[in-house]
Structure 1
Amino acid sequence: MLRFQNGYSQTINVMIERYDASCQPTPWHRTGWWVIQPGGSAVAYGGDLAALNRYWYWYAFAVDNTQWSGPYPENVPYSEFDWCPDTAADPSINIGMRELDVNGASNWTLNLVL
């Protein structure tokens, strides 16, 4: 299970990208946005993380424009989405995702703080 915990003082929006062999030609599936109030949490994936893939990708931003970003670029819509990466959306934003290496763990909680 992949859980996001909001340890920040503002509402946070989160998206993930996970391995999905049925997505072709690029086997990655994107889902977002989970809206998490301060002190709250959301389960972004309910299954065994390591059984699916070692590497997961994620991005989050707060309503005050604070971002938890990384070097892995992606283009995602402003609205809710759940699809393979070759799906287009308009309007959309360019983001930089962070990589999460679960290294054999079945469950992981990311506590988003500054």
Structure 2
Amino acid sequence: MMDLSRRSLSVLLACTALLPGAALAQTDAQARPDTRAMTCAEAAALVARAGAVVMSTGPATYARFVRDGGFCPLPETTQPSWETTRDDPKCFVGYTCRDKFNEGQGRD
């Protein structure tokens, strides 16, 4: 009987150790800035200040925006990105990184 209690306790402790990670992932997704809720100036300033930031761009979409090419891995380059913000449907928020050898195909 003692063995079963120890095993149950071990399983319970292992499960509770996983909970903070799951909660953190959910909190991170909820805390992601949303371009649609920001003004154009706020979104552009966030990218300029942070250098690189992942922002939500729609109900189930997001992108990584960078201030300049120094935030892109080699051999990628920048491509201007205009996003919908609270006050501007085509706001220049910064750049996204694109593979310069593949006609615009790259990571988002």
Highest RCO, 1 vs 2 (Cα 8 Å, sep ≥ 6): 1
TM-score tier by shorter-chain length is: under 0.3
Question: Higher helix proportion, which one?
Answer: 2
Question: Higher strand proportion, which one?
Answer: 1
TM-score by length of 2: 0.27
TM-score by length of 1: 0.26
